[in-house]
Homo-oligomer: A and B are copies of this chain.
Amino acid sequence: MPLIERLPKKQRHQQLLKIIEENPFVTDRELTRELKVSIQTIRLDRMELGIPELRERMKQMAEHSYDQVRSLPLDEVVGDVVDLQLDKSGISIFEIREEHVFSRTHIARGHYVFAQANSLAVALINDEIALTASADIRFLRQVHLGEKCIAKAYVRSMNGHRGKAKVEVFTYVGEEMVFQGNFVIYRSTGEDHIEGGM
């Protein structure tokens, strides 16, 4: 019943964790050379520590990166436009999914909520070119994974058929307002150059 001097094993476990953390592509055989123990010991250690085999580790990394690549696009129009009266008002719905949140907190990244509002504001303007010139935005409460954001946009003013339009957007989750923004959108029928905007 060895009660003292049991460090070597725990120590080896620490080393093992460290080695695998800084090089997850190491095989058990390579580990035997670094830790000077038999391959069976390495495998027992991995079991005790719950570290999967090399192939499983690679698979997990590959799947993880695949998910990320999939999730990237802040696509064309973010959110589904369910109602649109050009130059007047519009509504879009956007569900917060895994790829839109900070993984640690499950709170949506601000730029997705912004993107939904911005896309809707731009879509509302019935012109060949409509670009955001400026915006004043406020995130009123965090939006969490799984919540549905309903953005409502209203055109507040129009300057003839060229120049700026003001669009106000309110985004709700249920009854609660989570985001509010005032957008200034440049608009143009297309023939001439405009000096600012997106």
A50 to chain B, nearest CB (A): 19
- Let me know if A17 is at the binding interface, CB within 8 A: no
On whether the beta carbons of A139 and B143 are closer than 8 Å, the reply is no
Whether A111 contacts B78 in the complex (CB less than 8 A), given A129-B105, A131-B142, A142-B131, comes out as: yes
Cβ of A133: which chain B residues have Cβ within 8 Å of it? 138-139
Chain B residues within 8 Å of A78, by CB = 74, 111
Chain multiplicity (copies): 2
> Chain A 94-129 against B: per-residue CB contact (8 Å), 1 yes, 0 no?
000001001111011111111100110010000011
Is A20 an interface residue, CB under 8 A from the partner? no
Say which size band chain A's interface belongs to: 35 or more
Q: Which residues of chain B are within 8 angstroms of A57 by Cβ–Cβ distance? A: 62
Q: Please, which residue of chain B has its CB at the minimum distance from the CB of A116?
A: B111
Nearest residue (CB) in B for A130 is B102
Stretch of A7-15, A32-40, A81-89, A190-198 contacting B (4+ beta carbons < 8 Å) = A190-198
CB contacts (< 8 Å) of A64 on chain B: these are: 65
Residues of B within 8 A of A140 (CB): 196
User: Are the C-beta atoms of B108 and A198 separated by less than 8 Å?
Assistant: yes
Asked, given contacts A58-B59, A59-B58, A61-B61, whether A110 binds B102 with beta carbons under 8 Å apart, the answer is no
A161 at the interface (CB under 8 A from B): no
